[in-house]
């Protein structure tokens, strides 16, 4: 992997215009401009629609398997971003997984505080199931706040009596809205994109008076028993490193199949930079392989969930160090 690639990306993010803790309206515009500055590849198709009363954008390529679905949850600290803004990264995941991605345009804070995002994500998942898509053909994917939201939605689905999807892959998940992990301080100097102060401001917008330790808001504090197999990817140069590590430990404690991949010296949601960073492409391919493997396993009745109704045994945890 190239040191010069990592340095170029670090410089780009460190001197970029985005201030996650800044004025919401301004930063939404900045984020949109950043995410749409490059056109989508010609073979990536996007279609706006609605599922369960929630706006969605379906992203895919002509080679996608129509029988499989990625339920994709975008980042932006619950206050910034949109399904359309996420189309580029969702398309990168969809292409490698060979499935269409349904990006959820969940309601944003501060206009729509907790639990609006969880309610919207769960409504879309329920609509997919009600529309005839088996849970074994659905995989969750999320990045940053969307990564934490993906796991929170798994918990909410279990609590609502819905079957788990085949798997979930989350990139740099924001899973602790109290921002209490040691890396919030310990990794501050090397994180070019996020600040603990900015995250805390957005957490206040989203939570208002809700306790940050509420399980459907911060899944590091949830009982994760019975959740789908989980892949967690994180960079070592980000203040949310401990969110990923603690989430993996919590999943393992609850007997969930979990794989933790720590990619050294790369920043928050580095997967979004596959065009310029070798690690990003490798991580996306690993996430797609994980997703495909669990689709195949559910087809063969080898993974717990809707087929067997049992919790996957063991607590697998692996760390990738490139």
How many structural domains are present in the chain? 1
Q: Which are the contacts of 91, defined by CB distance < 8 A and separation ≥ 6?
A: 40, 41, 44, 59, 60, 61, 101
* Residue 321: inside a domain: no
Q: What distance in Å separates the CA atoms of residue 266 and residue 28, rounded to the nearest whole number?
A: 24
* Residue 48: inside a domain: yes
* Residue 250: inside a domain: yes
* Residue 311: inside a domain: no
* CATH code (residue 90): 3.40.50.1820
Say what the pLDDT of residue 59 is: 97
- The whole domain housing 146 covers 3-299
* Residue 125: inside a domain: yes
Q: What is the pLDDT of residues 31-87, one digit of tens each?
A: 999 888 888 999 999 999 999 999 999 999 888 998 999 999 999 999 999 999 999
Tell me, yes or no, if 268 is annotated catalytic: yes
Q: What distance in Å separates the CA atoms of residue 285 and residue 289, rounded to the nearest whole number?
A: 6
Q: What distance in Å separates the CA atoms of residue 100 and residue 135, rounded to the nearest whole number?
A: 15
Which 3 state secondary structure label does DSSP give 45? strand
Q: What distance in Å separates the CA atoms of residue 201 and residue 55, rounded to the nearest whole number?
A: 26
How high is the mean pLDDT of the chain?
92
Choosing from 82, 135, 144, 183, the catalytic residue is 144
Say what the pLDDT of residue 63 is: 87
Tell me, yes or no, if 32 is annotated catalytic: no
Say what the pLDDT of residue 312 is: 29
pLDDT for 300 beyond 80: no
* Residue 57: C-alpha distances to residues 61, 70, 84, 232, 262 (Å): 13, 12, 6, 24, 30
pLDDT for 320 beyond 70: no
Tell me, yes or no, if 253 is annotated catalytic: no
Interstrand relation of 45-51 and 138-143 (parallel, antiparallel or unpaired): unpaired
Choosing from 143, 166, 216, 238, the catalytic residue is 238
Q: What distance in Å separates the CA atoms of residue 230 and residue 98, rounded to the nearest whole number?
A: 19
* Residue 236: inside a domain: yes
Cβ 202 vs Cβ 143: under 8 Å? no
- 170, 169, 250: which is closest to 215 by C-alpha? 250
* Residue 305: inside a domain: no
Q: What distance in Å separates the CA atoms of residue 30 and residue 16, rounded to the nearest whole number?
A: 10
Say what the pLDDT of residue 97 is: 96
* Residue 72: inside a domain: yes
Choosing from 74, 216, 268, 294, the catalytic residue is 268
Q: Is 11 exposed, middle or buried (0-12, 13-18, 19+ CB in 10 A)?
A: exposed
pTM for this model (two decimals): 0.92
Determine which of 1-10, 165-174, 177-186, 228-237 has the lowest per-residue pLDDT on average: 1-10
């Amino acid at each position: 992997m190239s040191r010069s690639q990592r340095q170029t990306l670090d410089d780009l993010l460190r001197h970029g215009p985005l201030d996650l803790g800044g004025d919401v309206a301004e930063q939404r515009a900045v984020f949109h401009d950043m995410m749409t500055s490059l056109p989508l590849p010609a073979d990536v198709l996007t279609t706006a629609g609605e599922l369960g009363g929630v706006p969605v954008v379906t992203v895919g390529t002509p080679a996608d398997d129509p029988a499989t679905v990625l339920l994709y949850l975008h980042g932006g600290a619950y206050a910034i971003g949109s399904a359309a803004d996420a189309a580029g990264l969702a398309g990168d995941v969809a292409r490698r997984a060979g499935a269409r991605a349904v990006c959820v345009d969940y309601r944003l804070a501060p206009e729509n505080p907790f639990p609006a995002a969880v309610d919207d994500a769960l409504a879309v998942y329920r609509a997919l199931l009600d529309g005839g898509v088996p849970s074994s053909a659905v995989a969750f994917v999320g990045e940053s706040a969307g990564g934490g939201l993906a796991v929170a939605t798994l918990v909410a689905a279990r609590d609502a009596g819905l079957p788990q999807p085949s798997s979930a892959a989350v990139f740099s998940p924001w899973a602790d809205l109290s921002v209490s992990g040691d890396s919030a301080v310990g990794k501050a100097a090397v994180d070019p994109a996020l600040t603990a102060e900015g995250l805390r401001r957005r957490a206040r917008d989203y939570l208002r008076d809700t306790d940050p330790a509420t399980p459907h808001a911060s899944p590091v504090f949830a009982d994760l028993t019975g959740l789908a197999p989980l892949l967690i990817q994180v960079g070592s140069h980000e203040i949310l490193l401990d969110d990923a590590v603690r989430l993996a430990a919590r999943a393992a404690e609850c007997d969930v199949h979990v794989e933790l991949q720590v990619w050294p010296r790369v920043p928050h949601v580095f997967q979004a930079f596959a065009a310029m960073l070798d690690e990003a492409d490798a991580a996306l391919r690993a996430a797609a392989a994980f997703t495909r493997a669990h689709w195949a396993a559910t087809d063969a009745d080898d993974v717990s969930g809707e087929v067997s109704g049992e919790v996957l045994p063991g607590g697998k945890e692996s760390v990738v160090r490139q």
